[in-house]
Amino acid sequence: MLDLLYIFITGAIGVFFIGYMTPKFAIWGTLGTAMMWITAHLIPAFSPQEVLDEIGPHIIDLFLVYPTATQLTFNEALAADGVIGGIAVIFIAILFLGPYLMGLILGVLTWPELILFRILL
């Protein structure tokens, strides 16, 4: 029983971390993409549209990490264990939805890296 509790707590912390880092990666990635897009105008053989075509979909995919992982796990559990496996994955995904959403909200509201940048400057 303690093993299951340990696995659940470890998973909840991991899902919280995924949710917390998602907006940070998206915003810093968007800023990096904007800098690359501006720089691409200075290089004659490089098209600025290439930057948006290559990086844009990946930034959108960041927000789909948890749903995609849940879907892939559901498909695999459904194939391996049938309906019972699918129901178990849905149950665990609903349990982990709370830490994920809390991580997303705190990731948007807290910016400790900006405090670190201010200290360094």
The string of pLDDT tens digits covering residues 43-87 is 888 888 888 888 888 888 888 889 999 999 999 999 999 999 999
**pLDDT-based confidence at 111, cuts 50/70/90?**
confident
Q: Does 115 fall in a domain?
A: no
Q: Which residue has the higher pLDDT, 2 or 106?
A: 106
Cα–Cα dist 7/5, whole Å? 5
Number of domains into which the chain is organized: 1
Q: Does 61 fall in a domain?
A: yes
Q: Does 15 fall in a domain?
A: yes
Q: Does 100 fall in a domain?
A: yes
Domain range for 74 is 2-110
Q: Does 23 fall in a domain?
A: yes
List C-alpha distances in Å: 32 to 26, 60, 63, 108, 118: 10, 14, 17, 18, 19
> What are 117-120's contacts with CB under 8 Å, separation 24+?
none
Whole-prediction pTM value?
0.80
The per-residue pLDDT for 77 is 94
Residue 88: is its pLDDT beyond 90?
Answer: yes
